[in-house]
């Protein structure tokens, strides 16, 4: 199907969570690709910042493209009690898969909200939770690479 | 068409293109002087009208681009200026030949041409070539300006005549078909009388007339012509020229909306864009300039209110400009050979959009521009990505700008290149740092508020280090690697920490880290990085001198214990000044002594997973002179809090403040100031240093006591000796006093402390001869004197309760002691008796003799 690189980016351009999804036939993700993906995702943040004001939706669809990679984005809503406003979810993918990506974003958003409601979790910091990772992996398998 | 011109902006359509070329043996410096002078003539005016046309000057222009002059009039070279330097007439003829050759290259498009020859004097000047000007030396550049002005006016005149020619053509006349180079073969053999063909001719001609009008400064006519051309060409689907007409329409609208405030002086060299220019572009044209009819450069209509109407009718609105540009570029996209035109159009559109602050649309256009395939050389590709990055910077997309700058840096050193350009790569990478939230001046050192994407930042820093190493500047690579280690320490894995430290050590072995500001490039200097995390200092405490070396303030002679700080005339006051508790706690209530080794204790922590060797660790102080004795230590891997004592010797009395410390780790020296360290707790960092006090040593030949040792109440250094006396006996004990310091001893006081029991029973007396004592002072350094003490034992055996304890051995024999051992404890064998006078306060130190009963019994 395709390879997907997902990242949740905080307010200071710092990645709070990163994960890759690849379908079974793709063997391995080389380190180089990982680095390049990070560069592309970082560069796409400009466009995400620009486009999030043009629409009321959280899902921004495809915001950028570089070589064979497409970048889709999702921006979380403003929730005053959470202080986790405008976290940017960025997805790099090499095949168009809008529906799957949209559903994935919505589910991960829910997962993220529940995680961020933990008062011991400081927003904008790295998410270190095996439960979160497992669930995210499950969602990726369900929506993206299934 | 080759060679896209990345510096084009929309206003260039208004300009007449003049090429300035060097000939002969003229030097680069001289030529650029002359070029600057020539380029200062930016506008050409006609005498009769108020209109002006703009001139743009280029040094390199490929003649094949000239063939597109019919398509877009600003691409045609209309003027040629050659600058030559010559010393003799033979060379002159050669120069003339090359000049004529140049003229031939540009063919019939030239309106006029000129040559300036420098360096020749009188006798050769009598040439009958009117197009050559002889200037004797480079000082007379003012005359050149005049000539150039005349020259440009002549160009304008020719332009005007051509325009009027074309304008006077009627619609029904037969007109030639204007073509672009790759179209020429398409139209061979076509029926020249068909309606389609004629419409095509008319449409194209109309567009051309619009171009000429734009160049001549007649905006209104230009707009009208462009509109007509657009309609005509659209009806026959002549897409390429339709796109050109749309672009012309956009340009004319841009000029009328924003005036020529967007214009900046072009860089001298093709493709280069200076910082000042970028700033000017971003500052100027921020708002739409509302054209004041009276100041318009258009003529013929000037001041006429119908201008406003005309403007409203024909001029595009800013949104329409974007639309039409988009349309034009999509039409250009249909033609592979017009790729350069498309690319330039994209760039021009982006510049316009940047002025209009339409960032998303500009990003769209730029995105399109990336994928236009133009067959370019390696240099071109580098330049292209650089220009893309600059344009992104203009619209405020810093991250994208950094991304493309990095790509162009990588292009500079591609494996396929015969000679990788490491310096260029380094320079470009340096420019990307800002977009990645890195600042060489200000390394971030705390994890909580780290800005930026750490993995990306690490990668960029590694590339920076590598390119500076390959560039051949080891000082820079050491600095950058230090920066990396310091600011990204928390984000490195264990393996990476080891690797980076090893590489740093290797680099530093070749080139020591710098300790002053390092100049990276012109105008950019960086301070040395203080590695305050290797090791991490958790707290710093100033330690008092060892108890036997502490200075003690003597009470003043009259016995009244006046408080030290009182300097008021009041003897007694009910108001007591309260000092705040924490201030009191934070203040240091001891002093250091000049010339003595003083200590500061630091609690450090090693964050690395391997043993950290710290060399040359010492204190940095301010205040009086303080000689710090450096220490070398080796901290175990990931140690907990490890105490480290740093010592130093104050040289001059006065206050000393510990401001920081310096270390050398991996060969990199670093100076860390305590005020910059947020994680370091310092209670108090200032301590007073008192002047030097003498140092004495007390020894005795009495046998040491190996048994019971009297507890030392004050933690003083003590030496326990044993004296055996019979009751009633007086024994003289000799004690040697040696001055081992550098100061003379001015007074000696002996004070005997008896234990409570002894005082009551009066069993033991120690006396000495005070006269003898007075004779001993002043005790010079290095001298040794004897003190004689008399110990007299006087035990009252009649008092049998309490003092005795009956002891029974196995046989039940009661023993009584007939004498007892007296333990004489001499306190402070090393002490500093001296006086230090400061007003009425006298500081000294006393020796104490303490006498205690031993309680031993024996027969």
> Are residues B648 and B505 in contact, defined by beta-carbon separation less than 8 angstroms?
no
Q: Which of B126, B186, B176, B116 is nearest to B150 (CA)?
A: B116
Residues of B in contact with A47 (CB under 8 A): 360, 363, 397, 400
Cross-strand pairs, B536 = B605
What pLDDT is recorded for position B812?
37
pLDDT score, position A17: 94
- Return the bridge partners of B539, or none: B603, B681
How far is residue B399 CA from its own chain's centroid?
19
A42 contact B CB<8A: yes
Distance from CA of B385 to the nearest CA of A (A): 14
Per-residue pLDDT for A71 more than 60? yes
* String of DSSP letters for A100-120: HHHHHHHHHHHHHHHHHTSTT
pLDDT at B682: 79
Report residue B281 as tokens: 């572009």
pLDDT at B585: 58
Convert the pLDDT of each residue in B518-533 to its tens digit: 777 777 888 888 888 8
CA pair distance B163, B155, nearest whole angstrom: 12
Q: Choose among A13, A39, A50: nearest Cβ to B452.
A: A13
Candidates B392, B450, B456; nearest CB to A42: B456
Distance (Å, whole) CA B98 – CA B23: 8
Half-sphere exposure of B519 (CA within 13 A, CB side): 3
Residues in B touching A54 (Cβ below 8 Å): 360
What residue ranges do the domains of chain B occupy? 10-167, 376-436, 440-529, 536-690, 696-852
Mean pLDDT, residues A122-134: 91
B471-475 contacts at long range (C-beta below 8 A, 24 or more positions apart)? B471/B422, B471/B423, B471/B425, B471/B426, B472/B422, B474/B507, B474/B510, B474/B511, B475/B511, B475/B514, B475/B518
Shortest Cα distance, chain B CAs vs residue A27, angstroms: 23
CA B253 to CA B602: how far, in whole Å?
A: 71
Instruction: Give me B561's structure tokens.
Output: 């214990």
Is B456–A47 a contact, with Cβ atoms under 8 angstroms apart? no
Confidence of residue A93 (pLDDT cuts 50, 70, 90): very high
**Nearest residue of chain B to residue A36 (CA atoms):** B456
Closest-CA residue of A relative to B453 is: A14
User: Computed from CA positions of residues B218, B223, B229, B232, in that sequence, does the dihedral angle turn out positive or negative?
Assistant: negative
CB-based contact A15 B453, cutoff 8 Å: yes
Q: What is the pLDDT of residue B805?
A: 40
Whether B384 has its CB under 8 Å from any CB of chain A: the answer is: no
Classify domain B10-167 at the CATH topology level: Rossmann fold (3.40.50)
B84-99 residues labelled b (16+ CB within 10 A) or e (exposed): bbbeeeebbeebbebb
Q: How far away is chain A from the Cα of B362, in angstroms, using its nearest Cα?
A: 11
Of A13, A50, A65, the CB nearest to B453: A13
Fold of B696-852: Immunoglobulin-like (2.60.40)
Query: A37 vs chain B: nearest CA distance in angstroms?
Result: 10
How do beta strands B15-24 and B77-85 pair? parallel
Residues 457-486 on B with a CB inside 8 Å of A are 459
**Token couple for B42:** 């930016």
Flag if B454 and A14 touch (Cβ within 8 Å). yes
Interface test with A, best of B361, B395, B400 (most A CBs within 10 A): B400
Q: Which residues of A touch B459 (CB under 8 A)?
A: 35, 38-39
Residues written for chain B = 859
Q: What local confidence, expressed as pLDDT, does residue A109 receive?
A: 93
Closest-CA residue of chain A to B403:
A43
More confident residue, B568 or A100: A100
pLDDT of residue B600: 87
* Contact residues, chain B, for A39 at CB < 8 Å: 403, 406, 456, 459
Query: What is the pLDDT at residue B820?
Result: 37
Question: What's the mean pLDDT when you consider all of chain A?
Answer: 87
CA end-to-end span of chain A: 8
By the CB < 8 Å criterion, does A130 face chain B? Answer: no
Q: Cβ B399–A42 below 8 Å, yes or no?
A: yes
Chain A residue numbers with beta carbons less than 8 Å from the beta carbon of B461 are none
Q: Catalogue the E-assigned strands of B213-349.
A: none
Q: Please judge whether A39 and B406 are an interchain contact, meaning their C-beta atoms are less than 8 angstroms apart.
A: yes
Residue of B nearest to A13 (CA): B452
List phi, psi (to 5°) of B56: -125, 145
Query: What SS3 class is residue B601?
Result: strand
Question: Which residues on B lie below 8 Å from A36 (Cβ)?
Answer: none
Q: Does A14 touch chain B (CB under 8 A)?
A: yes
Low-confidence ranges of chain B (pLDDT < 70): 1-2, 120-129, 170-174, 189-190, 192, 260-313, 445-448, 548, 553-587, 702-722, 747, 749-764, 777, 795-859
Is B628 within 8 Å of B580 (Cβ atoms)?
A: no
């Amino acid at each position: 199907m395709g390879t997907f690189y997902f990242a949740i980016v905080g307010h200071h351009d710092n990645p709070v969570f990163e994960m890759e999804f690849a379908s079974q036939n793709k063997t391995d993700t080389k380190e180089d690709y990982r680095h390049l993906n990070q560069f592309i995702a970082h560069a796409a943040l400009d466009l995400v910042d620009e486009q999030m004001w043009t629409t009321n939706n959280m899902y921004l669809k495809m915001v950028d493209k570089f070589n064979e990679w497409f970048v889709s984005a999702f921006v979380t809503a403003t929730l005053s009690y959470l202080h986790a406003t405008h976290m940017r979810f960025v997805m790099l993918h090499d095949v168009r898969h809008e529906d799957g990506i949209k559903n994935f974003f919505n589910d991960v958003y829910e997962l993220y909200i529940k995680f961020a409601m933990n008062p011991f979790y400081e927003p904008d910091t790295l998410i270190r939770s095996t439960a979160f990772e497992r669930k995210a992996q499950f969602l990726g398998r369900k929506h993206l690479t299934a | 068409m080759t060679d896209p011109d990345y510096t084009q902006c929309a206003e260039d359509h208004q300009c007449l293109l003049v090429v300035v070329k060097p000939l002969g043996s003229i030097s680069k410096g001289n030529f650029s002087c002359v070029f600057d002078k020539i380029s200062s003539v930016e506008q050409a005016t006609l005498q009769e009208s108020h209109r002006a046309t703009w001139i743009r000057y280029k040094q390199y222009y490929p003649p094949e681009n000239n063939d597109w002059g019919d398509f877009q009039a600003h691409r045609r070279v209309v003027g040629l200026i050659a600058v030559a330097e010559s010393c003799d007439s033979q060379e002159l003829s050669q120069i003339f030949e090359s000049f004529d050759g140049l003229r031939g290259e540009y063919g019939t498009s030239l309106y006029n041409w000129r040559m300036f020859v420098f360096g020749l004097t009188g006798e050769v000047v009598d040439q009958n070539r009117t197009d050559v000007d002889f200037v004797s030396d480079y000082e007379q550049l003012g005359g050149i300006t005049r000539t150039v002005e005349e020259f440009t006016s002549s160009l304008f005149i020719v332009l005007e005549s051509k325009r009027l020619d074309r304008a006077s053509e009627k619609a029904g006349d037969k007109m030639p078909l204007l073509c672009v180079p790759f179209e020429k073969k398409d139209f061979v053999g076509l029926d020249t009388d068909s309606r389609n063909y004629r419409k095509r001719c008319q449409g194209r001609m109309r567009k051309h007339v619009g171009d000429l009008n734009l160049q001549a400064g007649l905006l209104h006519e230009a707009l009208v012509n462009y509109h007509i051309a657009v309609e005509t060409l659209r009806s026959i689907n002549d897409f390429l020229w339709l796109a050109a007409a749309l672009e012309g329409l956009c340009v004319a609208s841009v000029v009328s909306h924003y005036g020529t405030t967007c214009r900046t002086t072009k860089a001298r060299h093709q493709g280069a864009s200076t910082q000042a220019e970028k700033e000017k572009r971003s500052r100027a044209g921020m708002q739409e300039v509302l054209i004041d009819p009276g100041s318009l450069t258009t003529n013929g209509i000037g001041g006429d209110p119908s201008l406003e109407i005309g403007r409203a009718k024909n001029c595009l609105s800013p949104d329409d400009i974007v639309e039409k540009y988009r349309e034009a570029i999509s039409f250009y996209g249909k033609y592979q050979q017009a790729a350069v035109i498309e690319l330039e159009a994209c760039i021009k559109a982006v510049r316009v959009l940047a002025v209009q602050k339409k960032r998303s649309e500009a990003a769209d256009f730029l995105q399109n521009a990336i994928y236009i395939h133009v067959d370019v050389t390696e240099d071109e590709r580098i330049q292209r990505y650089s220009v893309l990055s600059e344009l992104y910077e203009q619209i405020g997309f810093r991250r994208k700008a950094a991304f493309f700058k990095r790509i162009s840096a990588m292009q500079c050193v591609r494996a396929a290149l015969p000679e990788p350009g490491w310096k260029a790569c380094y320079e470009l990478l340096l420019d990307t740092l800002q977009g990645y939230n890195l600042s060489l001046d200000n390394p971030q050192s705390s994890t909580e508020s780290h800005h930026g994407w750490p993995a990306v930042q690490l990668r960029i820093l590694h590339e920076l280090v590598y390119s500076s190493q390959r560039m051949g500047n080891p000082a820079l690579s050491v600095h950058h690697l230090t920066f990396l280690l310091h600011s990204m320490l928390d984000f490195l894995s264990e393996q990476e920490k080891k690797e980076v430290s090893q590489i740093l050590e290797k680099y530093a072995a070749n080139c020591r880290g710098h300790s002053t500001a390092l100049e990276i490039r012109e105008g950019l200097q960086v301070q040395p990085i203080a590695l305050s995390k290797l090791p991490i200092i958790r707290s710093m405490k100033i330690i008092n001198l060892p108890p036997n070396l502490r200075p003690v303030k003597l009470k003043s002679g009259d016995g009244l214990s006046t408080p030290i700080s009182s300097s008021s005339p009041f003897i007694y006051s009910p108001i007591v000044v309260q000092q705040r508790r924490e201030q009191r706690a934070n203040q240091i209530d001891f002093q250091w002594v000049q010339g003595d080794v003083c200590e500061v204790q630091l609690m450090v922590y090693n964050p690395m997973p391997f043993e950290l060797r710290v060399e040359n660790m010492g204190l940095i102080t301010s205040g009086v002179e303080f000689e710090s004795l450096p220490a070398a230590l080796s901290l175990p891997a990931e140690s907990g809090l490890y105490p480290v004592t740093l010592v130093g010797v104050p040289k001059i009395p006065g206050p000393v403040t510990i401001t920081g410390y310096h270390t050398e780790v991996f060969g990199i020296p670093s100076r860390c100031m305590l005020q910059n360290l947020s994680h370091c707790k310092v209670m108090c960092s200032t301590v007073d240093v008192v002047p030097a006090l003498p140092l004495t040593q007390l020894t005795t030949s009495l046998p040491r006591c190996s048994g019971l040792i009297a507890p030392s109440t004050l933690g003083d250094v003590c030496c326990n000796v044993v004296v055996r006396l019979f009751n009633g006996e007086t024994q003289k004990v000799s004690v040697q006093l040696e001055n081992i310091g550098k100061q003379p001893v001015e007074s000696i006081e002996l004070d005997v402390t008896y234990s409570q029991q002894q005082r009551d029973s009066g069993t033991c007396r120690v006396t000495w001869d005070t006269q003898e004592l007075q004779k001993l002072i002043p005790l010079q350094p290095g001298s040794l004197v004897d003190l004689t003490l008399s110990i007299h034992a006087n035990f009252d055996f009649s008092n049998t309760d309490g003092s005795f304890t009956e002891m029974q051995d196995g046989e039940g024999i009661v023993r009584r002691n007939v004498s007892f051992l007296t333990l004489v404890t001499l306190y402070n064998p090393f002490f500093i008796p001296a006086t230090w006078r400061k007003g009425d306060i006298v500081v000294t130190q006393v020796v104490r003799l303490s006498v205690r009963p031993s309680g031993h019994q024996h027969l």
